[in-house]
């Protein structure tokens, strides 16, 4: 039950102070209301960026913990697994650019084969959609690409 006209923002500040101020805030708002964080609606609203980044020279995955909460680094992945997957995906895309043929997007009969993730596996699948990343006009070429770079696909799977 509200005991005074107290804005939620003011109550949140009082809650952070602890002691009698915290209790006064709790007399006017629930604890859930006072500690609930609003979800960011843009990149600029993120308060704290931490995680892992890929060193531009060595390719090493480095833990990133900034000194200040406001950060402008946009190349930080939230987990090491995502950073490793991004590095593997970048390598796969470079290899794909060399492997794909000029007709891999424009098969005569519309039949193409893409490398896709299922719940458990990475597979070559029949595809009629023309905007897949790893798409080939020949099943055998798609299968060979997947087989040849299976280790990279395994690492990249969280992003596939």
**Could you state, in order of their start, the residue ranges of all structural domains in the chain?**
1-36, 99-160
* pLDDT > 90 fraction of the chain, expressed in percent and rounded: 32
Q: Mean pLDDT across the chain, nearest whole number?
A: 85
pLDDT of residue 79: 95
pLDDT of residue 151: 96
d(CA 69, CA 72): 10
DSSP for residue 133: S
Residue 38 contacts residue 14 (beta carbons within 8 Å): no
> Quick check: 1 pLDDT over 60?
no
- Does residue 41 come out as left (phi exceeding 0), alpha (psi in the -120 to 50 range) or beta? alpha
pTM value surpassing 0.85: no
Question: 89, 91, 45, 53: which is closest to 69 by C-alpha?
Answer: 45
Structure tokens at 105: 């997007």
pLDDT of residue 87: 95
The string of pLDDT tens digits covering residues 54-108 is 998 988 999 988 776 666 788 899 999 999 999 999 999 999 999 986 655 555 5
Tell me the pLDDT band of 127, cut-offs 50, 70 and 90: confident
Residues 6+ apart with CB under 8 A from 120: none
Residue 112 contacts residue 135 (beta carbons within 8 Å): yes
Residue 81 contacts residue 159 (beta carbons within 8 Å): no
Residue 72 contacts residue 90 (beta carbons within 8 Å): no
Q: Is 98 exposed, middle or buried (0-12, 13-18, 19+ CB in 10 A)?
A: exposed
- Greater confidence, 110 or 158? 158
């Amino acid at each position: 039950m509200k005991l005074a006209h107290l804005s939620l923002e003011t109550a949140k500040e009082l809650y952070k102070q602890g002691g009698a101020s915290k209790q006064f805030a709790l007399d006017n708002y629930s604890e859930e209301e006072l500690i609930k964080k609003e979800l960011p609606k843009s990149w600029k609203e993120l308060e704290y960026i931490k995680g892992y980044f890929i060193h531009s020279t060595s390719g090493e995955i480095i833990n990133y913990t900034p000194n200040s909460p406001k950060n402008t680094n946009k190349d930080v992945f939230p987990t090491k697994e995502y950073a490793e997957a991004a590095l593997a995906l970048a390598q796969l895309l470079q290899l794909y650019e060399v492997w794909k043929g000029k007709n891999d997007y424009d098969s005569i009969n519309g039949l193409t084969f893409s490398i896709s993730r299922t719940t458990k596996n990475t597979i070559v699948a029949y595809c009629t959609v023309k905007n897949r990343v790893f798409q080939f006009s020949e099943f055998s070429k798609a299968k060979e690409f997947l087989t040849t770079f299976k280790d990279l696909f395994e690492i990249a799977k969280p992003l596939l």
